[in-house]
């Protein structure tokens, strides 16, 4: 694949932006499949990289990854002028031995970030989501029953009724379907048949500013981003915490150099 054409938006960048805007949130797998669709659509056009979809698998993946990086970088350079951004991150807990990558179309102003959620959820549901965020900032993960019981804490005003447990169960499923919560059934140690839940990458990407300003959320010492399901440094006087993925990539504390442990087992390189 050739060099990027400066920061110039081309037709394929515009189609990429339109897709992410319309979806609001896409997984890394969905972005990869869409990148292949772009190759089929724009192959041979001046300036579009030459990618052989029928070539060796490793080479094809590398070229598509480079195309995605160009789409991501060039589009964000254009979005900067209007105070929007396509954010890229990963789920905090592995699924099928990988940290799934995610993309979200995000307004950079905090009030606009909340406004985006208001287009999806009612005021009562949004208050419930905020209550869950406060709980998971401390507990990291929670069972389905615990999340449902949290609905009893949601009271926007005296004349507004709280969610019933049946309504809360429905809303939790809605949070999961929209990517704001993740239900980690497969790797759950909880006895509950519903598994455990943690905050989804979409929520963390879209509401990063609100989380920093309104919740005592930890920051990863490695990447400086908000972290909930974290790895703590075992050194007694060191308060550093890390994303699991960051701890796996560099398995020693950045300050005290102690080996970091995930689920009680020291990370290895």
The per-residue pLDDT for 73 is 97
Residues 6+ apart with CB under 8 A from 30: 23
Q: Is the pLDDT of residue 257 over 90?
A: yes
Distance (Å) of CA 41 to CA 61, 76, 169, 202, 257 = 18, 22, 42, 28, 49
Spatial CA neighbour of 151 closest among 167, 163, 136, 139: 163
The burial of 97, by beta-carbon neighbours within 10 Å (0-12 exposed, 13-18 middle, 19 or more buried), is given as exposed
Residue 200, helix vs strand vs coil: coil
Contact 23, 17 (CB under 8 A): no
Q: What is the pLDDT of residues 39-63, one digit of tens each?
A: 999 999 999 999 988 889 999 999 9
The burial of 179, by beta-carbon neighbours within 10 Å (0-12 exposed, 13-18 middle, 19 or more buried), is given as buried
- Using a pLDDT cut of 70, give the percent of the chain over it: 88
Average pLDDT over the chain reads 88
The per-residue pLDDT for 7 is 61
Across 201-233, b (16+ Cβ under 10 Å) vs e yields bbbbbbbbbbbeeebebbebbbeebbbbbbbeb
Residues 6+ apart with CB under 8 A from 56: none
Q: What is the pLDDT of residues 157-213, one digit of tens each?
A: 445 567 888 999 999 999 999 999 999 865 444 444 568 999 999 999 999 888 988
Spatial CA neighbour of 198 closest among 212, 213, 209, 187: 187
**pLDDT tier at 6, thresholds 50, 70, 90:** low
Distance (Å) of CA 91 to CA 8, 21, 88, 143, 183 = 31, 20, 10, 18, 12
Q: What is the pLDDT of residues 56-113, one digit of tens each?
A: 999 999 999 999 999 999 999 999 999 999 999 999 999 888 999 999 999 988 788 8
Across 43-67, b (16+ Cβ under 10 Å) vs e yields eeeeebbebeeeeeeeebeebbebb
Per DSSP, 252 falls in state B
pTM of the entire structure?
0.85
Measured distance between the N- and C-terminal CA atoms of the chain, rounded to whole angstroms:
31
Helix (H) or strand (E) holding 129: helix 123-139
- Using a pLDDT cut of 90, give the percent of the chain over it: 69
The number of beta carbons lying within 10 Å of the beta carbon of residue 7 is 13
- Rounded to whole angstroms, the Cα distance separating 41 from 172 reads 38
- Rounded to whole angstroms, the Cα distance separating 38 from 16 reads 8
Residues 6+ apart with CB under 8 A from 91: 99, 100, 102, 182, 200, 201
């Amino acid at each position: 694949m050739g060099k990027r054409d400066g920061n110039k938006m081309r037709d394929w960048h515009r189609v990429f932006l339109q897709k992410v805007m319309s979806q609001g949130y896409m997984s890394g797998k969905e972005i990869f499949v869409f990148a292949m669709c772009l190759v089929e659509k724009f192959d041979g056009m001046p300036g579009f990289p030459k990618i052989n979809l029928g070539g060796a698998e490793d080479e094809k993946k590398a070229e598509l990854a480079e195309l995605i990086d160009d789409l991501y970088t060039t589009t964000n350079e254009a979005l900067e002028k209007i105070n929007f951004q396509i954010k890229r991150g990963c789920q905090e807990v592995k699924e099928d031995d990988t940290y799934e990558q995610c993309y979200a179309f995000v307004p950079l102003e905090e009030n606009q970030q909340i406004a985006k959620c208001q287009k999806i959820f009612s005021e009562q549901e949004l208050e419930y989501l905020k209550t869950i965020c406060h709980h998971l900032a401390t507990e990291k993960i929670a069972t389905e029953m615990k999340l449902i019981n949290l609905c009893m804490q949601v009271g926007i005003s005296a004349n507004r009724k709280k969610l019933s447990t049946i309504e809360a169960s429905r809303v939790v499923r809605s949070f999961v379907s929209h990517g704001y919560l993740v239900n980690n059934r497969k790797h759950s140690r909880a006895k509950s048949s519903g598994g455990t839940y943690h905050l989804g990458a979409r929520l963390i990407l879209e509401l990063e500013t609100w989380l920093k300003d309104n919740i005592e959320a930890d920051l990863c010492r490695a990447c400086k981003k908000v972290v909930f399901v974290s790895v703590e440094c075992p050194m007694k006087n060191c308060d550093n915490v890390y994303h699991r993925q960051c701890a796996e990539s560099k398995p020693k504390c950045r300050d005290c150099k102690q080996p970091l442990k995930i689920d009680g087992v020291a990370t290895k390189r």
